[in-house]
Amino acid sequence: MAATAMKFGVGAFGVLLAAYAAGAGADAPVAAAAPLIPVWQGLPPGASAADLKEQDTEMPGGDRVVRNVTRPTLQPFLPEAGTATGTAIVVCPGGGFRFLSIDTEGLEVARWLSAHGIAAFVLRYRVMPTPADDGDFAGQLGALLAPLFGPGINDEMKRLGPPAIADAQQAMRLVRQRAKEWHVVPDRVGILGFSAGGVVVTGIALQHDAKSRPDFAGAIYPGPWDIGKVPKDAPPLFIAAASDDALTDIGAQPLQAAWQQAGHPVETHIYDKGGHGFGMKQQGGDSDHWVDQFGAWLDKQGLLKAKK
């Protein structure tokens, strides 16, 4: 699986494993100063008080990740006055449930959405604990990511996905609870996720209540999830991935097939090249345009037209 691991390495599931070896990566953009809003009142369900402190880690090459998230938060990016459409999207970065690729799959995406009149909320969902010391983390990164490069990936998703999915469900409820404050229309709240964040999207699209149901969903190079039966109220779905990503065969394509078989609307873009974890990175290929195609899909749903 060595070649596959390197293919994953530049992406969100194995983000920067290759960069540790080669020093590749984009410059880290500056984070916006939007506030972090707790998703849960107190400890999340099933969680215990932890000594872990959420932290940013800059990887070689400049990519930035957020680690040791135990208290989920939302970071809002609201459109300028007069441009709001009433549509809102919860954005779920990827990172194999080890960390969150907070810039190219989080903050940059949210800025694009807010510039197009969409209220965006970056979700920092719970991830597994990693060494607090950045040096120790770097030394253990290969071992931390190894289960994602083989058959163990399905077990990892089943083990680590449920708390993050619960965080996303609560995030959807919170956006609707505060819809008036944020100038959001409660029946125009969707979710968009990348890699492990795409697993979160799949999970919430399959299992939700009335207050947490996404009105629409986007899964960008999603990881694998046991789809089972697709519910009758599953949301319209947008999928984007690349054929040179080994996860496409076990993530994006089964998801597309399940939605088609259930008779639910799904639009899928599979690019020839792009690898795993292209996010908002510009690589000179067709995958650079996924966000514009996502925007066009939102427009077809009528979600870019203002609604009070």
Give the per-residue pLDDT at 17.
42
Dihedral of the alpha carbons of 289, 296, 185, 204, in degrees to the nearest 10: -60
pLDDT at 4: 32
User: 270 is written with which tokens?
Assistant: 């599979």
Measured distance between the N- and C-terminal CA atoms of the chain, rounded to whole angstroms: 51
Mean pLDDT by 10 residues, the chain (308 residues): 33 39 34 77 81 85 89 96 95 97 96 97 97 92 90 94 97 98 97 98 98 98 96 98 96 98 98 95 94 98 90
- β 189-194/217-220 pair status: parallel
> What is the token pair recorded at 130?
């990693």
SS3 174: helix
Q: What is the pLDDT of residue 265?
A: 98
Q: In what order do the strands lie in the sheet with 99-100?
A: 55-58, 64-67, 99-100
Q: Considering only the top CATH level, what class is 2-24+51-300? A: alpha beta
* Distance separating alpha carbons of residues 4 and 256, to the nearest angstrom: 23
User: Helix (H, G, I), strand (E, B), or coil: what is residue 100?
Assistant: strand
Q: Provide the whole-model pTM.
A: 0.90
Distance CA 255, CA 155 (A): 18
User: What pairing do the DSSP bridges indicate for beta strands 99-100 and 64-67?
Assistant: antiparallel
Per-residue pLDDT at 153: 95
The residue to which tokens 């597309």 are assigned: 256
Biggest CA–CA distance in the chain, Å, is 52
Q: How crowded is residue 244: how many other Cβ atoms within 10 Å of its Cβ?
A: 15
Q: Where are the domains of the chain?
A: 2-24+51-300
Give the per-residue pLDDT at 42: 86
pLDDT for 45: 87
| DSSP state letter for 71 | S
